[in-house]
Amino acid sequence: MDNFYMGIDVGSVSTNLVLIDEENNLVYKRYLRTQGRPLDILKEGIKEVKDKFGDAHILGVGTTGSGRYLASVLIGADVIKNEITCHAVAALDHNPDTRTVIEIGGQDSKIIIINDGIVVDFAMNTVCAAGTGSFLDRQALRLGMEISDFGTIALNSSNPVRIAGRCAVFAESDMIHKQQLGHNQEDIVRGLCDALVRNYLSNIAKGKYVKSPILFQGGVAANKGIREAFEIELKEEVYIPTNFDVMGAIGAAILSKDEVKEKGHTKFKGIDMCRKDYKVNPIDCNGCSNICEILEIKEDGNILARYGDKCGKWSL
In this predicted model, what pLDDT tens digit does every residue of 176-221 receive, in sequence order?
777 777 778 788 888 888 888 888 888 888 889 899 999 999 988 8
Looking at residues 146-161, what average pLDDT do you find? 78
CB-count exposure of residue 127 (10 Å: 0-12, 13-18, 19+): exposed
pLDDT at 159: 80
Using the predicted structure, report yes or no on whether residue 129 has a pLDDT greater than 60: no
pLDDT of residue 127: 59
Domain 3-87+248-276 and domain 96-240 have a common topology? yes
Compute the average pLDDT of residues 142-160.
Answer: 77
CATH number of 3-87+248-276: 3.30.420.40
Write out pLDDT tens, residues 77-116: 999 999 999 999 999 999 999 999 999 877 788 999 999 9
Average pLDDT over residues 21-31: 94
Lowest-confidence range among 27-36, 37-46, 149-158, 275-284? 275-284
More confident residue, 315 or 110: 110
- Residues 194, 197, 203, 204: what is their CA dihedral angle, to the nearest 10 degrees? 170
pLDDT top residue among 207 and 172: 207
For the cut 60, the answer to whether the pLDDT of residue 231 exceeds it is: yes
Please compute the mean of the pLDDT values over residues 153-164 and round it to a whole number. 79
pLDDT band, residue 167 (cuts 50/70/90) = low
What is residue 257's predicted lDDT score, i.e. its pLDDT? 96
Q: Which distant-in-sequence residues (6+ apart) come within 8 Å of 223 by Cβ? A: 136, 147, 150, 151, 154, 193
Beta strands in 168-301 (DSSP E): 214-217, 238-239, 278-284, 293-299
Q: With contact defined as beta carbons under 8 Å apart, do 143 and 185 qualify?
A: yes
What residues does 8 pair with on adjacent strands?
17, 63
Name the average pLDDT for the chain.
Answer: 84
Classified as helix, coil or strand, 278 is strand
For residue 95, the tally of other CB atoms under 10 A from its CB is 12
Who has greater pLDDT, 256 or 56?
256
Q: pLDDT grade, residue 133 (50/70/90)?
A: low
Judged against a pLDDT cut of 90, whether residue 128 lies above it is answered with no
User: What percentage of the chain exceeds 90 in pLDDT?
Assistant: 36
> Domain extents for the chain?
3-87+248-276, 96-240, 277-316
**Once rounded to an integer, what is the mean pLDDT over residues 25-37?**
87
Specify burial of residue 232 (Cβ count, 10 A radius: 0-12, 13-18, 19+). exposed
Class of 96-240 in CATH: alpha beta
Q: What is the structure's pLDDT at 253? A: 97
- Residue 113's pLDDT is 96
